[in-house]
Amino acid sequence: MRTRTYRTALLSTLLLAGCTPRETMPELTDRVFAVAAAQYEQLEGRLTDETLPRSAASDGKFIPSNIRWWCSGFYPGSLWYIYEYTGDKTFRELAEKNTFKLYPLKQKGTDHDLGFQMNCSFGNAYRITGEQKYLEPIHTSARVLAGRFSPVTGVIRSWDFVRKGRDWKYPVIIDNMMNLEHLYNAGLLFGDDTLKSVAVTHANTTLCNHFRPDFTSYHLVDYDPADGRVRRKETVQGFSDESAWARGQAWALYGYTMMFRLSGYECYLNQAENIAGMLLERLPDDGTEFKWS
pTM beyond 0.85: the answer is yes
Which candidate in 49, 59, 88, 175 is catalytic? 175
Least confident span in 35-44, 234-243, 279-288: 279-288
Least confident span in 16-25, 38-47, 76-85, 205-214: 16-25
> What was the pLDDT predicted at 36?
96
pLDDT band at 285 (very low <50, low <70, confident <90, very high): confident
> What was the pLDDT predicted at 17?
47
Residues 116-136 pLDDT 10s: 899 999 999 999 999 999 999
Give catalytic status of residue 175 as yes or no. yes
Which candidate in 59, 111, 113, 160 is catalytic? 113
| Reduced 3-state DSSP string for the chain | CHHHHHHHHHHHHHCHHHCCCCCCHHHHHHHHHHHHHHHHHHHHCCCCCCCEEEEECCCCCEEEECCCCCCCCHHHHHHHHHHHHHCCHHHHHHHHHHHHCCHHHHHCCCCCCHHHHHHHHHHHHHHHHCCHHHHHHHHHHHHHHHCCEECCCCEECCCCCCCCCCCCCCEEEHHHHHHHHHHHHHHHHHCCHHHHHHHHHHHHHHHHHCECCCCCECCEEEECCCCCCEEEEECCCCCCCCCCCHHHHHHHHHHHHHHHHHHCCHHHHHHHHHHHHHHHHCCCCCCCCCCCC
pLDDT band at 7 (very low <50, low <70, confident <90, very high): low
Mean pLDDT of the chain: 92
The answer, yes or no, to whether residue 171 has pLDDT greater than 70, is: yes
